[in-house]
């Protein structure tokens, strides 16, 4: 991935050749990853792929065995005091005192920040007005999740780490969190999120990185990743009996072209905009009018399963 940060500004997150081992297990293996400023990057991978370990290294909770980790240009372990006020961390159920009330908890986290967002306003944004005086242990799972998000955001961070931010939320709360993440990006906040939900990555992420066994197996925009290594299909409906040789000759090696049914032509291969243009031009050259062009898209989930396998992970 190329650096697209403004001149002088470090990327929000940059990992180069990062390795982390736990005994015989290599959780993260020569990982390179960049989150640009004001970008949402979704880190995807099956269970045990190394997502949490990667994020924990960025947060400074775990030190890498090799390679470099830079967050807002700083070393998250060495420079943790300088970094802490500038980042937001959403912990899964962690760090809470079970007896303390939701409002008190958020007020406490806000008190650590020089310029916090108004906690009452944030609770209201996240639909937690009524939960303000509720002890943490009495909050529903979805309310605890939204409170964790509020705690990550109350200090106006430049960069937020969100670990499965919508896991266990109902459809309404999920939409609310998606809108909030989108608003953060518009405000220039960078977001590194992990998720198991492909539609969440497709909806929110500027960049998607799929990791498996601690290595990157695909990276790019959701649309780019959905095209990764995939065979696509282009269907053209037009006059029957056209000469397909010119189209075959125009397309690079590896494409298959045929008339599947009279007047319905199928092109198989790595379909991109240039292939669609070539197919339309081929029809025009033969004086044939196209009544329909359809590209069968593969989903991010199809590609994810192709790359990481379909068997269950422990
Ligand atoms: N503290 C630890 N001690 C020993 N092994 C660990 C430790 N933390 C992680 N691992 C191992 O490292 C590998 C990567 O784990 P990690 O939690 O980073 O994966 P993940 O992608 O976040 O998985 P999940 O989607 O299940 O949360 C796994 O094999 C895990 O068992």
Residues 196-215: pLDDT tens digits? 999 999 999 999 999 999 99
Domain ranges of the chain: 13-227, 232-297
Rounded distance from Cα 221 to ligand 1 centre (Å): 26
Question: What pLDDT sits at residue 3?
Answer: 43
Question: What pLDDT sits at residue 54?
Answer: 96
For residue 165 and ligand 1, the question of a CB distance below 6 A is answered with no
More confident residue, 87 or 100: 87
pLDDT at 308 over 90: no
Distances (CA, A) of 312 to 47, 121, 242, 258, 309: 8, 42, 47, 38, 9
| 3-state per-residue secondary structure call for 101-164 | EHHHHHHHHHHCCCCCCCHHHHHHHCCCHHHCCCEHHHCCHHHHHHHHHHHHHCCCCCEEEEEC
**ipTM over the 0.95 cut-off:** yes
163: closest CA among 76, 235, 91, 249?
91
* Cα gap 116→105, rounded to integer Å: 14
Atom number in ligand 1 closest to CA 54: 18
Choose the most confident range, by mean pLDDT, from 30-44, 97-111, 289-303: 30-44
Range 92-119 average pLDDT: 84
Question: What pLDDT sits at residue 92?
Answer: 65
User: Which alpha helices (H) appear in the chain, and where do they start and end?
Assistant: 51-59, 80-83, 102-111, 119-125, 141-153, 171-186, 198-204, 222-227, 245-250, 273-285, 300-308
* Cα gap 106→114, rounded to integer Å: 14
One fold for both 13-227 and 232-297? no
* Cα gap 42→221, rounded to integer Å: 10
pTM: 0.81
Range 182-188 average pLDDT: 92
Average pLDDT, the chain: 90
Backbone angles phi, psi at 220, to 5 degrees: 150, -170
CA of residue 197 relative to chain centroid, distance: 9
Atom number in ligand 1 closest to CA 214: 14
CB 240 within 8 A of CB 283: no
* Cα gap 54→18, rounded to integer Å: 9
Question: What pLDDT sits at residue 94?
Answer: 57
Output the six-digit token pair for 131: 């939960």
Question: What pLDDT sits at residue 242?
Answer: 96
For residue 174 and ligand 1, the question of a CB distance below 6 A is answered with no
pLDDT at 11 over 90: yes
pLDDT at 239 over 50: yes
Range 216-231 average pLDDT: 84
Backbone angles phi, psi at 283, to 5 degrees: -65, -45
| DSSP designation for 173 | H
For residue 313 and ligand 1, the question of a CB distance below 6 A is answered with no
66: closest CA among 30, 13, 33, 32?
30
pLDDT tens-digit map of 154-166? 999 999 999 899 9
Output the six-digit token pair for 237: 């409906």
Of the candidate ranges 79-83, 189-193, 224-228, 292-296, the one whose mean pLDDT is the lowest = 224-228
Question: What pLDDT sits at residue 307?
Answer: 85
Distances (CA, A) of 273 to 15, 206, 270, 276, 280: 33, 20, 10, 5, 11
CB 165 within 8 A of CB 145: yes
Question: What pLDDT sits at residue 227?
Answer: 75
Atom number in ligand 1 closest to CA 56: 18
Question: What pLDDT sits at residue 298?
Answer: 76
Residue closest via CA to ligand 1's atom 27 equals 47
pLDDT at 126 over 60: yes
Range 57-64 average pLDDT: 95
- Write down the architecture of domain 232-297 according to CATH: 2-Layer Sandwich (3.30)
Instruction: Output Rg (C-alpha) for the chain, integer angstroms.
Output: 24
pLDDT at 31 over 70: yes
Rounded distance from Cα 47 to ligand 1 centre (Å): 8
300: closest CA among 207, 184, 161, 191?
207
Give me the DSSP letters along 89-102. EE-SS-S--TTSBH
pLDDT at 295 over 80: yes
pLDDT at 121 over 50: yes
Report the topology of domain 13-227.
Answer: Rossmann fold (3.40.50)
């Amino acid at each position: 991935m190329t650096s697209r940060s403004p001149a002088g500004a470090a990327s929000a997150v940059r990992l180069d050749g990062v390795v982390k081992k736990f005994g015989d297990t290599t959780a993260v293996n020569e990982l390179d990853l960049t989150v640009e400023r004001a970008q949402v990057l979704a880190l995807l991978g099956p269970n045990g792929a190394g997502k949490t370990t990667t994020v924990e290294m960025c947060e400074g909770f775990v030190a890498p065995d090799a390679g470099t980790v830079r967050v807002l240009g700083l070393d998250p372990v060495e420079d943790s005091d300088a970094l802490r006020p500038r980042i937001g961390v959403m912990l899964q159920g962690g760090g809470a005192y079970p007896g303390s009330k939701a409002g008190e908890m958020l007020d406490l986290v806000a008190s650590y920040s020089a310029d916090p967002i108004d906690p009452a306003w944030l609770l209201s944004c996240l639909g937690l007005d009524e939960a303000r005086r509720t002890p943490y242990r009495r909050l529903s799972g979805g309310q605890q999740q939204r409170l964790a998000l509020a705690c990550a955001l109350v200090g106006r961070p430049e960069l937020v780490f969100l670990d499965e931010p919508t896991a266990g939320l109902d459809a309404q709360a999920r939409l609310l969190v998606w809108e909030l993440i989108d608003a953060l990006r518009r405000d220039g906040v960078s977001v590194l999120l992990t998720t198991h939900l492909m539609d969440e990555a497709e909806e929110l992420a500027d960049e998607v990185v799929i990791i498996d066994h601690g290595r990157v197996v695909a990276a790019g925009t959701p649309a780019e990743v959905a095209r990764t290594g995939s065979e696509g299909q282009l269907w053209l409906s037009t006059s029957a009996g056209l000469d397909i040789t010119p189209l075959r000759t125009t397309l690079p090696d590896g494409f298959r072209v045929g008339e599947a049914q009279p007047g319905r032509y199928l092109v198989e291969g790595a379909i991109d905009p240039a292939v669609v243009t070539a197919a339309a031009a081929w029809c025009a050259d033969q004086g044939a009018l196209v009544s329909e062009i359809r590209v069968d898209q593969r989903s991010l989930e199809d590609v994810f399963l192709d790359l990481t396998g379909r068997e269950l992970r422990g």
